[in-house]
Amino acid sequence: MFQQKIILASRSPRRVELLAQLGVQCDILPADIDESSLPGEDPAQYVCRLAQEKALAIAAEHGDRGLAILAADTTVALGQDILGKPVDAADALAMLSRLSGSVHLVHTAVAVYQAGEVRCLLNTTEVEMMQVPQTVLEDYIASGEPMDKAGAYGIQGRAGAWIVRIAGSYSGVMGLPLHETAQLLHAW
């Protein structure tokens, strides 16, 4: 396992928990960047760019601490449509209604900055969600659970019961693919 402490450029408790599974301790310093997509940017390019920008933003302020900086970004993609975090309950319902009964992709990019260099790896997982009744979606939204999650759902929460199958990384759908993360950290 990775023995050195790192800086995590995220406030996600899920990412902290997943890093702990690798034995990684971290200082939490969330990056505050513009997360708007660029014209014509596909979902995979989008998450890779954001993960790298988050790592570089924290490096600009804290790169002199000598710690690796890890950043990640996750998005749900339905075709070329990027479904990020919902802005409100209506947005969450619109996203979940589109995802209900679908097969969609979850892209998570992980970037590590150290010694003036940033490296990034992408994980893509195919997710099949059952058709979920409108009333169940509304109850889920009322719980508040989907409001800070890409695509308005968390596989590790109540919405996990709706997932028929995944082809890829469960931890990637949670927001930090452990395989790619370990590969990047060990490379340093």
140 lies in some domain: yes
73 among known catalytic residues: yes
CB distance 110 to 30 below 8 Å: no
1 lies in some domain: no
Average pLDDT over residues 28-54: 95
Domain hosting 84: range is 6-187
pLDDT value at 69 more than 80: yes
Per-residue pLDDT reduced to its tens digit, 157-181:
999 999 999 999 999 999 999 999 9
Looking at 34, 73, 91, 148, which residue is catalytic?
73
Per-residue pLDDT reduced to its tens digit, 129-151:
999 999 999 999 999 999 999 99
Q: Give the model's confidence band at 2: pLDDT under 50 very low, under 70 low, under 90 confident, else very high.
A: low
57 lies in some domain: yes
CB distance 126 to 180 below 8 Å: no
pLDDT value at 1 more than 60: no
Query: Could you give the number of structural domains in the chain?
Result: 1
Domain CATH code at residue 170: 3.90.950.10
Separation between Cα atoms, residue 51 and residue 24, nearest integer Å = 19
pLDDT value at 33 more than 90: yes
99 lies in some domain: yes
